[in-house]
Structure 1
Amino acid sequence: MPPRRAVTGRSQEPRQRFVEELRLLRAEKGDSLRQLGEALGWDWSLFGKMESGQTLGGPEVAQALDQYYGTARLLLTLWELAAGDPTQFREQYRRYMTLEAEATGILWYSPCVVPGLLQTEAYARRLLLRGSLGPGVKLDQQVAARMTRREILSEDGAPFFRAILDENVLRRPLLDCEEWQEQLKHLDEMAEQTNVTLQILPFAAGPCELINTDTALLRLPEGRTVAWVETGYDGQLVEENAGVEHLQFSYDRLRDHALSPRESAVFIQRLLEEVPCLLPDSK
């Protein structure tokens, strides 16, 4: 790991220090901006804008750069100091993302939308476009960050991932038929991965636990479990044992009402066959 450089007179300001580290680390690596973009899967122009101070990028970009350069959490820490805006990325959510990347197992329940780790680029773009990104937040930047984040399910040492999706998630299609087909196919393909289990909670199950709350349970390497709960307005990281145990119990009860993984796969495949009939303007 490259040694941390002393803060000089021209880099005491957090944003400038972040920019300086980006430039120096790439120079030490000997990469061009294009090579860096190709290695990490982002458009090279994003890194050019970050190194010129035009944008900070997102926390996922900083995490990816930390992994690429072998700098542990240096760049993410500098990013957090430079961002300095709790309304854009709340501290709890930033901590959740860090824990998610470390988790050996992830259990997820989604009552309304496809979970971020299972979204296609088109689905993520539509969802983020309808959401509130906040002033100065770039749509392309957030979509790219979400696409990078989902790679944890396919890389070496990927965690076990179980997602329970309410039937409501699959009954609210994207308006573009091809984009919706792509999302359904992606769910079908992800369910075939050995580390991914996908289950559908049907309408026939009636009202169940966690009925309006996105919930994630993260099993961490040291053996403890933490949880993340989120509504349309707020999110909370739950670490105390009593709260986590209550959410785990609710999740287990919810799972009792869900279709089996095989039945869920058939459900999604049937929806794929029906896609042209779901949309009024489809031929």
Structure 2
Amino acid sequence: MHVGSGARVSTGEADAGCGSGETDEPGWEVDPDDEPGAAVVATVGRQIKAWRESVGMRAGEFGAAIGYGEGLVYKVEGGKRIPRPEFLDKADEVLGAGGKIAMMKGDVAEVRYPKKVRDLAGVEARSVEIAAYVAHGLHGLLQTPGHARALFEARQPPYSQDEVERMVAARMARQAIFDRLPAPALGFVQEESALRRPIGGVAEWRRQLGRLLEIGRLRNVTLQVMPTHREAHPGMDGDITVLKFTDGTAVGRSQGAFNGRPVTDAKQLRILELRYGIIRAEALNPRESLALVEKVLGET
């Protein structure tokens, strides 16, 4: 359930148009291994090209009209770059498409994030209950944008800045789960050490602690903190996550069990739930946990 990483060299400069007044806001590279996503982007690109040619506009003219570089236009039309919503809005207006290009924003939105992130977000969106223990750092659903950005920027080998922003946007999009109705039951156990590491600097650290308090007070959320002075517990081997669905099925994963593979077998799920239950019992209760977060915030 964790997203793999891979560094690519940013092509923003190579895509820049020659005109000094052009803006070439980078799009997102298409992952060649993401066949469904690549097919959608290729279809959108072909339609944009067809609209452009139908009005007799050259790629350079079109790019100048919408404020993007000619190189980026060719990449979008060739299905090699994922167009951002603003690109599609401007293209629709300039080409007189009457909303037919702009409406493709929904199709693009479905594939704008890496496939592994989309798969994870899809599983989370279908769940009615999530139980998660995180051994290091904060769970992605709890992170602020600045916190997430600092983590992605610290990765080695490094992401390009465009990839960093893409991953941050993907992580934030998953947090739509907090707005779902009916609300799922969400349980998080975090190590105390995660509260005390100033990821992103002091100002961002304070924002992150404030976000934890905000989420921890939601009626469908149980947020607990495992004190640093606790002795060994079943989560020492790594993260544990269990997601349950409306049809009674579930999926779980732990870095310290079953070779880290996702499991759906009832016996294996019971083992993960047993471990998570003991972790919860040894952690501070929700009220004590929020009090500790407030204390750390007051000390920053």
TM-score by length of 2: 0.63
More moved, 48-57 vs 242-251: 48-57
Q: What residue number does 1:15 align with?
A: 38
Residue 246 of structure 1 and its aligned partner are, at CA, apart by 0.5
Residues of 2 paired with 1:24 and 1:156: CA distance? 36
Q: What residue number does 2:276 align with?
A: 251
| Deviation per residue, 1:241-263 (Å, 9 max, x gap) | 22211100000011110101000
Residues of 2 paired with 1:265 and 1:24: CA distance? 52
| Deviation per residue, 1:190-220 (Å, 9 max, x gap) | 1111111100011232110021412211011
Residue 21 of structure 1 and its aligned partner are, at CA, apart by 4.4
Residues of 2 paired with 1:235 and 1:134: CA distance? 25
Matches within 5 A, 1:1-283: 15=38, 17-21=40-44, 51-52=76-77, 53-56=79-82, 69=106, 95-132=119-156, 138-174=163-199, 176-230=201-255, 236-275=261-300
Give the match's secondary structure for 1:104. Answer: strand
Residue 96 of structure 1 and its aligned partner are, at CA, apart by 3.7
Give the match's secondary structure for 1:164. Answer: strand
Q: Is the 8 A contact 2:198 2:204 kept in 1?
A: no
Q: Is the 8 A contact 1:216 1:228 kept in 2?
A: yes
Give the match's secondary structure for 1:204. Answer: coil
Give the match's secondary structure for 2:81. Answer: coil
Residues of 1 paired with 2:156 and 2:175: CA distance? 21
Q: Is the 8 A contact 2:192 2:225 kept in 1?
A: yes
Residue 229 of structure 1 and its aligned partner are, at CA, apart by 2.6
Gaps of 5+ in 2: 1-34, 49-67, 84-102
Residue 51 of structure 1 and its aligned partner are, at CA, apart by 4.8
Give the match's secondary structure for 2:151. Answer: helix
Structure 1 residues 256 and 267: CA distance shift in structure 2, 3 A: same
Residues of 2 paired with 1:201 and 1:208: CA distance? 10
Q: What residue number does 1:5 align with?
A: none
Which amino acid is 1:207 matched to?
A
Which amino acid is 2:212 matched to?
L
Residue 166 of structure 1 and its aligned partner are, at CA, apart by 1.0
Which amino acid is 1:128 matched to?
F
Residue 18 of structure 1 and its aligned partner are, at CA, apart by 3.1
Residues of 1 paired with 2:215 and 2:157: CA distance? 28
Q: Is the 8 A contact 1:20 1:51 kept in 2?
A: no
Gaps of 5+ in 1: 1-11, 26-44, 58-65, 276-283
Which amino acid is 2:227 matched to?
P
Structure 1 residues 75 and 24: CA distance shift in structure 2, 3 A: farther
Residues of 2 paired with 1:13 and 1:253: CA distance? 41
Residues of 1 paired with 2:174 and 2:40: CA distance? 25
Residues of 2 paired with 1:212 and 1:131: CA distance? 22
Q: Which has the larger radius of gyration?
A: 2
Structure 1 residues 21 and 266: CA distance shift in structure 2, 3 A: same
Structure 1 residues 13 and 114: CA distance shift in structure 2, 3 A: closer
Q: Percent identity at matched positions?
A: 26
Residues of 1 paired with 2:36 and 2:248: CA distance? 39
| Deviation per residue, 1:130-180 (Å, 9 max, x gap) | 125777771111111111111111233331111000112112222511000
Residues of 1 paired with 2:191 and 2:212: CA distance? 14
Give the match's secondary structure for 1:246. Answer: helix
Residue 16 of structure 1 and its aligned partner are, at CA, apart by 5.2
| Deviation per residue, 1:211-240 (Å, 9 max, x gap) | 141221101111122113348xx9532222
Residues of 1 paired with 2:282 and 2:132: CA distance? 15
Residues of 2 paired with 1:175 and 1:99: CA distance? 29
Residues of 1 paired with 2:284 and 2:42: CA distance? 49
